[in-house]
Structure 1
Amino acid sequence: MRYPIMIEFGTDTTAFGVVLPDLPGCFSAGDTLDEAVTNATEAATLWIEDMIDRGESIPAPSRLDAIVQTPEWSGSGWMPGFVNIDPTIFDERAERVNITLPRRVLARLDARAKDAGESRSGFIARLALSA
């Protein structure tokens, strides 16, 4: 999935700034153009994951030509581009996995899950999402 980005040119003393117009409040920067785009990809992924975790909807990507025609982004200080987001972050399907743990660790895990009123899988998922 490709989200459009707008890149503000950097100088010898300032970083390249990157804004993702479709993801409110999502921005990044980097000392080089490549670093700025890489950091923007990470920022967008984290923004989307946070919204999913909070049960919020994710805006669909806009068309780049529509964005660059708006007054906010049409100035000469901005360069358009894209970040590619791995679509698997949107996949909520359950998948069976096989893990190996020492029995003492598994017993402790099961006891904590039981105390929390959760299944083993649900407890592990909640721990992973809260980290």
Structure 2
Amino acid sequence: MKYPIAIEPGSDKAAWGVIVPDLEGCYSAADSGIDEAIENAKEAIELWIEMALDEGKDIPKASSITDLQKKGGYKGYIWAIAEINPALLSDEIERVNISLPKRVLARLDAKAKSAGENRSAFIAHMAISA
């Protein structure tokens, strides 16, 4: 998945600013230049998507840079593309194997049972809420 980003050039005294126009409220910044700005934007987009999914919100489709430029408001900005791992959007179930000491597994199962969940659901909830 690729999202266009608008990068406001920085200087020796000001950070590089990044806006992700398709994701309302998704911003980022960088101190050392355009490469860092793009990498930081990827992280901001991933966090934005994770929070939106956790809240049950839809993820907007990416616009084209051409369409965004036509809207205006980005004079002097540099356009780039931030590519995000599409697995972030997948709710497909995947079976995994993990290895744990038996005593840890016993604790995990006890906590899952007391929460009214199975082992997999309990682990998933822990990962999302951490």
- TM-score interval, smaller chain: over 0.9
Q: Deviations over 1:56-100 (max 9, x none)?
A: 000000111010111212x1x211111001101011111111111
Partner of 2:46: 45
Alignment identity in percent?
51
**Are 1:57 and 2:58 counterparts?**
yes
State the Cα RMSD in Å. Answer: 0.8
CA distance in 2, matches of 1:4, 1:65: 10
| Partner Cα separation in structure 2 for residue 2 and residue 95 of structure 1 | 24
Looking at structure 2, the residues matched to 99 and 63 of structure 1 have their Cα atoms a distance apart, in angstroms, of 41
Distance across 2 between alignment mates of 1:99 and 1:118: 18
Unaligned 5+ segments in structure 1 are none
CA distance in 2, matches of 1:69, 1:122: 45
Q: Which residue is equivalent to 1:33?
A: 34
What displacement does 1:38 show?
Answer: 0.5
The residue number in structure 2 matching 1:87 is 86
Cα deviation, residue 4, structure 1:
0.6
Distance in 2, Cα, partners of 1:25 & 1:108: 40
How many residues in Structure 1 have an aligned counterpart in Structure 2? 129
User: 2:116 maps to what in 1?
Assistant: 117
Q: Distance in 2 between matches of 1:108 and 1:67?
A: 52
